[in-house]
Chain A
Amino acid sequence: MVKKTVLIFSLMFCFANATVYEDNCIKCHKQFTPSIDKYFYKYLLIYSSETDMKNAIISYLKYPAKETSVMSDAYIDKFGIKEKSKLNENEIKQAVDVYWEKYKVFGKLK
């Protein structure tokens, strides 16, 4: 009984996180080129580890700036800097966690 409850709550939590990510990230990014995974590998190229990368993304979402962007100048000149996220701290974190899990390299290499 307890196990079932924990499983249900975990699934609900993941679903809630996925919803934040889907509703607030994918919704906009699917209209742009390049796709959202390319940004992930740009971050990975510079920040390497999970902690550093998540911190950098959260920081950029809260305070977007040309100086902290991982994209090229040409890209910024064309598309500009994104707007400051309206999500709260917890929601940003949840969305970034989903983003990491979706594109991380760990466990995928063969």
Chain B
Amino acid sequence: MLASKKLGTDFHQSEKQTLFRFSALYILLTIIIISVFSFIYFELQKDLMLQQQKSTLQKYSKELIENLKQLHKNFDKTQIYPRSDKFESAIFDNEKKLIFSTTKTKLRLDKILYLENETIHLVNIPESYYLGARYIIVKVKDDKQWLEQTKKEIIIFGIITFLFMLTIGYILLRLFLKPMRDAITLLDEFIKDTTHELNTPVSTIVSNIEMIDRSSLDEKLLKKIDRIDIGAKTISNIYQDLTYLTLGNKIISNNEDIDIEQLVLERVQYFTSLALAKKIKICTNIIQNTILYADKFKISKLLDNLLSNAIKYNKVGGEIVVSVENKKISVEDTGIGIAKDNISKIQERYKRCNKSSGGFGIGLNIVSTIAKEYNLKIDITSKENIGTKVSISW
């Protein structure tokens, strides 16, 4: 989300999810790559240290072999194993059976030079098996200086690489998002320009129709005027929706206590002429009046979109029931309904599940945006070819 804001793009939920997944995957891969390289570097440093210690251990081993040789020659006189304060040692026969060891730790003979339990081991095979010793192990304690140094290097290198890869990832993200951002900006700009140009003529039509003295007109002309009224109101609604959508984030809310019953009746009255054109009957069912603290224009927009959709997707001669009860408004129609799979996607911007009716697919997205702003809960229940019920509760 932060990234999308920084990039100056208002992304949809699914796009945000994709961005989040891409970022998570990228970071995970970066960490894996750094870990693999760190491991390889660590192993190389360990090998280097072992090679550096090898000559010292070989010297100790030679010293031990020489002492074993002397002991072998004089075994009938002395049986004291040659010890040294510089190293520990052990001898094994050719069946890897322990002959003698200066320590009690278990030793391995499958490697020549290795580090185990913080001790460096060297396995040597002498030319002659003094006292039967085929394998001679000498071992010294690891001072761990190399380990501290390697750890420090890995941490510094890891952080630098991680930050570098993050920068690269951010640049890549910007590159990948550019086409998507351009497309959304283009669409928004187009709608903004179009709506601006529509505003003046539509307002003129609507205000002039309201000013006509209907009593002086004959029935035929009145019908024509009604049709113009419906058409103008439809365009006016679309204009307001698009304006809200493009400027929505910049509109400052002017919250107040709204009498929901009054607002519902007002908006139903406004849509009556549109509903009558499709022979749709709008019933209001005020069970209990309720108050909502919000911006009146926005809640009006929310209701307009619910009513507009209920008319748009209703059957000719259908019915709409608008109910108001404690902290709840619901609009129920007898229209085409929404398929079960589409219910969750219906609130996305530009999403239309039925292309036979007009519209841009922005109605429920506006409802959703307003609902989110005021923490209103939207509940949609629908059955295909039976109808849809949209409930707003708080």
Contact = CB atoms under 8 A, between A and B. Distances in A.
B129 interface: yes
A110 B79 contact: yes
Nearest to B94: A48
A50 B79 CA distance: 19
B276 to A, nearest CB: 109
B79 A44 contact: no
Given A105-B99, A109-B100, A48 B134 contact: yes
A106 interface: yes
A52 interface: yes
A67 to B, nearest CB: 19
Contacts of B94: 47-49, 52
Interface in A44-63: 44-53
Contacts of A37: 76
A106 B76 CA distance: 14
A105 B132 contact: yes
By secondary structure, the B interface counts as loop
A13 interface: no
A46 B94 CA distance: 10
A41 interface: yes
Give the size range of B's interface with the partner.
10 to 19
Interface string B61-83: 00000000000100110011100
A37 B178 CA distance: 90
Contacts of B99: 105-106, 109
Nearest to A103: B75
A4 interface: no
A93 to B, nearest CB: 19
Contacts of A46: 128-129
Contact of A41 (B75, B79, B81, B133): B75
Nearest to A53: B132
A49 B79 contact: no
B81 A110 contact: yes
B387 to A, nearest CB: 92
B323 to A, nearest CB: 96
B95 interface: yes
Contacts of B76: 37
B100 to A, nearest CB: 4
A5 B97 CA distance: 33
Best-surrounded residue of A48, A49, A51 (most CB of chain B within 10 A): A48
Interface string B117-140: 000000000001111111000000
Contact of B79 (A52, A53, A108): A108
A51 B95 contact: yes
A48 B79 contact: no
Given A41-B72, A41-B75, A109-B79, A49 B100 contact: no
A45 B72 contact: yes
Contacts of A45: 72, 128-130
A44 B129 contact: yes
Contact of A44 (B80, B81, B95, B132): B132
Interface of B: 72, 75-76, 79-81, 93-95, 97, 99-100, 128-134
6 contacts: A44-B132, A47-B129, A49-B132, A50-B93, A53-B132, A109-B81
